[in-house]
Structure 1
Amino acid sequence: MAVQAGKDLLLKLDETATGSFVTVAGLRSRRLAFSTGAVDVTHADSPDRWRELLAGAAAKRLSVSGAGVFKDAPSDAAVRRLFFEALIRPWQIVLPDFGTLEGPFQLVSLDYAGDHEGEISWDMGLESAGAITFTAA
């Protein structure tokens, strides 16, 4: 993958879960974090008492965070509704020239901030709530 501009990463929401995704925000910073746990199966007869892990058994998760300004009033309203109603909806994370991650997410944090001489900005956090697919570009 060639060097990419951070501004090109897109966060899209399918508010109605009908397969229609729209970009919801002007992201100024973004972060994707893939993680998994470990299932410890160490027992009294483990070789030299070294920890043993069970392959393929841990839960996977994708955390997405972003900060910026909302694109427009409808996208701001859609994101607020998802948060206050604790809804899980399909989201897409588009990484140009790399691919698209898609799956159900829950909006787990939503913060607003503003300076006296500046615009209102926000921070949001999404947590995967099911299987995530990857489609290469």
Structure 2
Amino acid sequence: MVAQKGRDLLLKVDNGTGFATVAGLRSKRLSFNTQLVDVTDAESAGRWRELLGGAGVQRAAISGSGIFKDQASDALVRSLFFAGTIMPWQVVIPDFGKVSGAFQIAALEYSGAHDGEVVFEIALESAGQLTFEAV
């Protein structure tokens, strides 16, 4: 994969008629993590930690920040947060693929300086198995 424009990394939410881009995001991040299962014991060779492969819980986290550019995406994100709704979300990674699955909004923050615009930050946590579709 060659260098890509950061603005082409898109965060989308299912709005009932398909996936709609969450408007105004200036930065986005997708991270994958696995909880490790440590099986080290007194007989572990050289006292090195041993892990149990394939036993940990996998999860994904999405975060982003920016400005709301339209009332529809603002209202949808806000309503999903306050309802605690788990919804299908999608992250589009240019020239790589799409990661899709159920996520819940874990944090929604608003801030603003006296001489600037109101900005928001959003954090989502995976709530089930994810799929990957290459483009």
* TM-score, normalisation: structure 1: 0.91
Q: Using the aligned pairs only, state the percent identity.
A: 57
In 1: Cα distance, 2:85 partner to 2:38 partner: 33
Report the alpha carbon displacement of residue 113 of structure 1 after superposing the two structures with TM.
1.1
Q: Which runs of 4+ in 1 moved over 3 A?
A: none
Residue 3 of structure 2: SS of its match in structure 1?
Answer: coil
1:94-109 equivalences under 5 Å are: 94-109=92-107
Computed over aligned residues only, the root mean square deviation of the Cα atoms, in angstroms, reads 1.4
CA-to-aligned-CA distance 1:46-105 (integer Å, 9 cap, x gap): 333332111011111111110001131111011011111111100000011111110000
**Matched residue, 1:4:** 4
Structure 1 segment 49-128 matched on structure 2, within 5 A: 49-128=47-126
Q: Is residue 11–residue 28 contact of structure 2 (8 Å, CA) maintained in 1?
A: no
One-letter amino acid of the counterpart of residue 60, structure 2? L
Contact 1:15–1:90 (CA under 8 A) maintained in structure 2:
no
Cα distance in 1, alignment partners of residues 86 and 11 from structure 2 = 15
| Counterpart residue identity of residue 5, structure 1 | K
C-alpha contact 2:99 2:133 (8 A) present in aligned 1? yes
User: Gaps spanning 5+ residues in structure 2: where?
Assistant: none
Q: Distance in 2 between matches of 1:136 and 1:26?
A: 25
**Quick check: 1:33–1:64 contact (8 Å CA) kept in 2?**
yes
